[in-house]
Structure 1
């Protein structure tokens, strides 16, 4: 009987979590393409991929931050970065083969579903991603752009 109650509680908990996701299609993309490195729920993986549960929400309320998020998913990023005294040295691949709608959806999942704080951010649109797609960068340039953003935001 206690095993049945535990199973029921688990199902109810999973159902409640599924209901709290605003961007389910973005979650699906994240779970299949991003969670391999960034882990479920965007918690990150020490030394490899940073957590996505704080900074993306802060970036999304700022025009330069939104640009950075879009450039990162479109072009990838490589090289060492430091977040809260932890260094991550990875090569995030480009996801430019995904549609503009898919990339906007996954960014919205990261910003609004994984980040409790997202300032005055508005949802990403496919048109916004399309505009960023017109000016590709390589992953090293994306990392350099990120470094300038971090400095300008005082993070």
Structure 2
């Protein structure tokens, strides 16, 4: 396309042209408050976009979507962010061994938003029929007496039940 032809196109048309040609990658963020919390609190270990760090923090781009679509997994995710977790885990044939801190100082709404960002924005293709997390779910999880070791044991059961490794 010539320069004069490009000048005659409006911004919207240029964006559409770029999208159609694969030049522009649009990232739809449905939970911007969750993304902001993730970027401030989680990305230091899990990296931007939840891609993970080899040996330290697993990627968050597949498993959380599967978790959120199952009853057991819907408990696992809030428990993990509220109570932390430690121990060796396996994700997509890689091993990670780190101690995830708890984020119980965040509000129920902040935690629901960050989980929704992870499940629906980072796991767009794997969340199936999962529904967004609510503050009521986080509040119920907060009322449970758990420690990071119990969260780890629960995760082992969830991944086994879902056939994940």
TM-score, with normalisation over the residues of structure 2?
0.82
Corresponding residue for 1:3?
none
Corresponding residue for 2:78?
70
Structure 1 stretches of 4+ with a deviation exceeding 3 A read: none
In structure 1, C-alpha distance between the alignment counterparts of 2:117 and 2:93, rounded to whole Å: 26
Structure 1 residue 93 and structure 2 residue 101: aligned? Answer: yes
Structure 1: unaligned runs, 5 residues or longer: 1-8
User: For each residue in 1:24-72, what CA deviation from the matched residue of structure 2 results, as whole angstroms up to 9, or x when unmatched?
Assistant: 0000000000000000000000000000000000110111101000100
User: For each residue in 1:87-138, what CA deviation from the matched residue of structure 2 results, as whole angstroms up to 9, or x when unmatched?
Assistant: 1000000000000000000000000000022111000000000001001311
In structure 2, C-alpha distance between the alignment counterparts of 1:132 and 1:123, rounded to whole Å: 15
- Alignment counterpart, residue 154 of structure 2, candidates 124, 140, 145: 145
- Aligned pairs for 1:1-155 within 5 A: 16-17=26-27, 20-115=28-123, 116-155=125-164
In structure 2, C-alpha distance between the alignment counterparts of 1:46 and 1:55, rounded to whole Å: 16
Secondary structure class of the residue paired with 1:46: coil
Structure 2: unaligned runs, 5 residues or longer: 1-14, 16-22
TM-score, with normalisation over the residues of structure 1?
0.88
Structure with max Cα Rg: 2
In structure 2, C-alpha distance between the alignment counterparts of 1:52 and 1:91, rounded to whole Å: 16
